[in-house]
């Protein structure tokens, strides 16, 4: 491996944030390694430089971590109840119970009682002591170092029972932390398990099952009813209803036919399909989503950066406080050494930063995972937090509030019938590349007049006005009403009211005629998405007071669309640079602004906003790459859900930090009257970890109300 090459590995057994940091530091110390980054949320490590798999695994030997290359995913371990795993904890617990029975029968200090408690401590805590003592030698102070000092100290001063109890409670605490992270990671694992590992490929008409890793671009894949699609591709034969819930979060199946795109991980409900593979397994849409979500979980949010920085100084501070508690009262006040050494040890236990360290990452991992399962890709903790603070949103019109595909909605024919009118204008538009031309040709195709024997000569495109050309010797023109009004056409004034009605309804009007006659008026409109009005209403209900629409379309169309979806602030006739300038102004005005666009022509405005949201992430590389948040299903109804989820995450992160610190302070105050015991200390630490964990997992319950 080259010295500057980055390799990514999956880690099995990574359960605590402190262990992740230690593992990262150990990997960085490997000779030839230039840099290493552990993604605790995704349980992955990225290594830059030359390091063998065995060297990396050795760096995690302190916690028996297993490592494998990213593409060779480790087999998932079966879930084993805590009471069955590990055996040493169970044995330790039995000795602890026997010790307390002996304590109540024979009293404190009896040899058999001490032996039973000592056996419990050694059997249950030998791994903890091994790590803790190694850390102590290297002057690395993490929670295992603190626990080791506290338990050994308790034994030295004769508190064998409490020392043994602390070992068991610490093991339970670690198990809870491990469970909580696995629960949070399960959302990503569910995405990984979406796509089949095998695909049925047609080779010279014969079906053959092969691994998806061996499927090549251009291979013909057979997908039967009731099967999941294994690779991204294009249907070349057949049709079916496809459930795309795994990608877009939308449960309603989508009807697909020849030339339609399908994605790996989606479900074929009822048809036999032949699909030409268009992407390798590592490039499929679901693979990109998984990769981006895992990367997002590694991005530190501002609150997490604060916690990490705070924890760096917090642990040494706790050690100093514990030392002072143990020594100052006996030295300067003549109080009992045993009592205050015991209090100092209790301070070490209660000071363990477990709950504080896990408070933010578990909330972020859970929220981002939940969003991904509901078809929303949030590309980092910083954006998760920023979305929760948003008070103003700017929408692009075309492709965001509207479908982005113009349709002919009105056809008014004069002097000839509708079919003949569409035959003439379809012939004219066949020479045009304007977006409206495709809408007209589609309408002509729908009524069966697209294929015509008419031939066109002398075609000319008049910039900003329309087109003209000769058909069977007659010169026709088709374009904006203003073109005809400017020519003072003899028949156009009589149609002014009809034209204005169409324009006021948000439609683009095309007039068709010759120099002396008008043969027809067409109304074309980019239809509003079904979800737009309800989404805008929901956004207002959840407290987003400032909504804007930014569009390059004309004033009348923009105002009509804005009125229909109930957006109060409409800015029209904007070029891309105008949108960019306006977004900057809104950011200054409101502090933070979200921009929602299609991820292509809105890239500058998306980049300048506080949070850029792209529509149509499924299969759209640009949307996945340019935006901070991607709505995979082209569905604006996901936006209120995303904001509610982000706000909930912000609230929970604040609650977690406040609670974990508050409980520590409260427990430490018990030192003043001498009431703090090892029991209270470990229950405070374990209780804080448990409550922070359960509080964070509430984010899994935030649902898309759609």
Active site residues: 396
Residue 214 CB-density burial (10 A; 0-12 exposed, 13-18 middle, 19+ buried): exposed
For tokens 């268009």, what's the residue? 278
How many other C-beta atoms lie within 10 A of the C-beta of residue 32? 12
Angle at 625 between CA 620 and CA 628, to 5 degrees: 110
Give the residue among 53, 655, 665 at the shortest CA–CA distance from 359.
655
Closest CA to 120 of 157, 86, 165, 82: 165
Q: What is the DSSP string of 173-197?
A: HHHHHHHHHHHHHHHHHHHHTTS-S
**300 in Cβ contact with 352 (< 8 Å):** no
DSSP class of residue 60? T
Return the exposure string of 37-53: e unless at least 16 CB atoms fall within 10 Å of the residue's CB, then b. Answer: ebbbbbbbbbbbbbbee
The secondary structure of residue 228, as a DSSP letter, is B
CA-nearest of 451, 470, 393 to 631 is 393
Helix axes 160-192, 285-298, angle to 10 degrees: 150
Would you state the torsion angle of the CA atoms of residues 154, 158, 163, 164, taken in this order, to the nearest 10 degrees? 160
- List the beta bridge partners of residue 509: 523
697: tokens are 């997992």
Cβ contact 391:544 at 8 Å: yes
Q: Which residues make Cβ contacts (< 8 Å) with residue 530, sequence separation at least 6?
A: none
Contact 200, 232 (CB under 8 A): no
DSSP 325-354: HHHHHHHHH---HHHHHHHHHHHHHHT--H
How far is the C-alpha of 515 from the C-alpha of 613, rounded, in Å?
A: 48
Angle 591-400-580 (CA atoms, 0-180°, nearest 5)? 40
521: β partners: 412, 511
Scan for tokens 């729908």, then name that residue.
446
């Amino acid at each position: 491996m080259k010295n500057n090459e980055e390799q990514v590995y999956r880690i099995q057994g990574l359960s605590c944030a402190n262990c992740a940091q230690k593992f990262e530091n150990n990997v960085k110390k490997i000779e030839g390694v230039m840099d290493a980054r552990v993604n605790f949320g995704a349980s992955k490590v990225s290594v830059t430089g030359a390091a063998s798999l065995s060297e990396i695994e050795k760096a995690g030997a302190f916690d028996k971590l297993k490592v494998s290359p990213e593409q060779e995913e480790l087999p998932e371990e079966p879930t084993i109840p805590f009471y069955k795993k590990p055996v040493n904890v169970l044995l330790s617990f039995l000795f602890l119970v026997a010790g307390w029975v002996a304590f109540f029968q024979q009293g404190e200090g009896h040899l058999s009682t001490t032996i039973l408690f000592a056996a419990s401590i050694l059997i249950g805590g030998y791994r903890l002591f091994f790590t803790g003592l190694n850390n102590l030698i290297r002057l690395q102070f993490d929670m295992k170092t603190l626990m080791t000092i506290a338990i050994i100290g308790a034994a030295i001063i004769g508190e064998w029972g409490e020392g043994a109890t602390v070992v068991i409670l610490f093991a339970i605490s670690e198990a809870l932390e491990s469970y909580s992270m696995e629960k949070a990671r399960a959302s990503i694992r569910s995405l990984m398990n979406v796509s089949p590992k095998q695909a049925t490929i047609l080779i010279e008409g014969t079906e053959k099952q092969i691994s998806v890793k061996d499927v090549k671009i251009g291979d013909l894949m057979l997908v039967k009813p009731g099967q999941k699609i294994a690779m991204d591709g294009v249907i070349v034969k057949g049709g079916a209803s496809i459930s795309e819930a795994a990608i877009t979060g939308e449960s309603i199946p989508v009807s697909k036919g020849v030339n339609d795109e399908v994605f790996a991980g989606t479900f074929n409900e009822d048809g036999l399909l032949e699909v030409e593979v268009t992407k390798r397994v590592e490039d499929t849409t679901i693979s990109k989503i998984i990769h981006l979500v895992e990367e997002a979980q590694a991005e530190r949010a501002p609150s997490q950066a604060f916690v990490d920085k705070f924890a760096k100084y917090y642990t040494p501070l706790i050690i100093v406080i514990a030392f002072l508690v143990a020594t100052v009262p006996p030295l300067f006040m003549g109080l009992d050494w045993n009592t205050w050494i015991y209090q100092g040890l209790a301070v070490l236990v209660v000071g363990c930063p477990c709950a504080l360290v896990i408070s933010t990452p578990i909330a972020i991992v859970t929220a981002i995972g939940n969003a991904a399962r509901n078809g929303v890709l949030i590309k980092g903790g910083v954006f998760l937090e920023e979305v929760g603070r948003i008070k103003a949103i700017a929408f692009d019109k075309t492709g965001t509030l509207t479908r982005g595909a113009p349709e002919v909605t009105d056809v008014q024919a004069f002097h000839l019938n509708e079919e003949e009118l569409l035959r003439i204008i379809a012939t004219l538009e066949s020479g045009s590349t304007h977006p409206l031309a495709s809408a007209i040709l589609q309408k002509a195709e729908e009524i069966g007049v697209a294929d015509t024997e008419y031939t066109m000569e002398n075609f000319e495109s008049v910039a900003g006005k329309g087109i003209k050309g000769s058909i069977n010797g007659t010169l026709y023109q088709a374009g904006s009403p203003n073109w005809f009004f400017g020519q003072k056409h003899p028949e156009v004034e009589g149609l002014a009211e009809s034209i204005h009605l169409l324009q006021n309804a948000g439609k683009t009007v095309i007039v068709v005629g010759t120099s002396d006659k008008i043969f027809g008026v067409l109304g074309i409109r980019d239809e509003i998405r079904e979800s737009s009005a309800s989404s805008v209403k929901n956004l207002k209900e959840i407290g987003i007071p400032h909504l804007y629409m930014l569009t390059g379309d004309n004033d009348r169309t923009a105002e009509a669309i804005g009125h229909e979806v109930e957006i109060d602030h409409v800015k029209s006739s904007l070029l891309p640079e105008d949108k960019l300038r306006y977004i900057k102004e809104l950011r200054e005005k409101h502090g933070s602004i979200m921009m929602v666009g299609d991820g292509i022509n809105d890239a500058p405005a998306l980049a300048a906003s506080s949070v850029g949201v792209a529509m149509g992430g499924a299969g759209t590389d640009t949307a996945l790459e340019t935006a901070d948040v991607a709505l995979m299903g082209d569905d604006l109804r996901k936006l209120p859900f995303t904001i509610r989820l982000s706000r909930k995450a912000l609230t929970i992160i604040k609650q977690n930090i406040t609670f974990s610190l508050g409980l520590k302070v409260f427990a430490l105050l018990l030192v003043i009257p001498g009431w703090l015991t090892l029991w209270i200390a470990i229950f405070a630490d374990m209780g804080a970890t448990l409550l922070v964990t359960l509080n964070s997992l509430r984010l899994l319950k935030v649902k898309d109300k759609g």
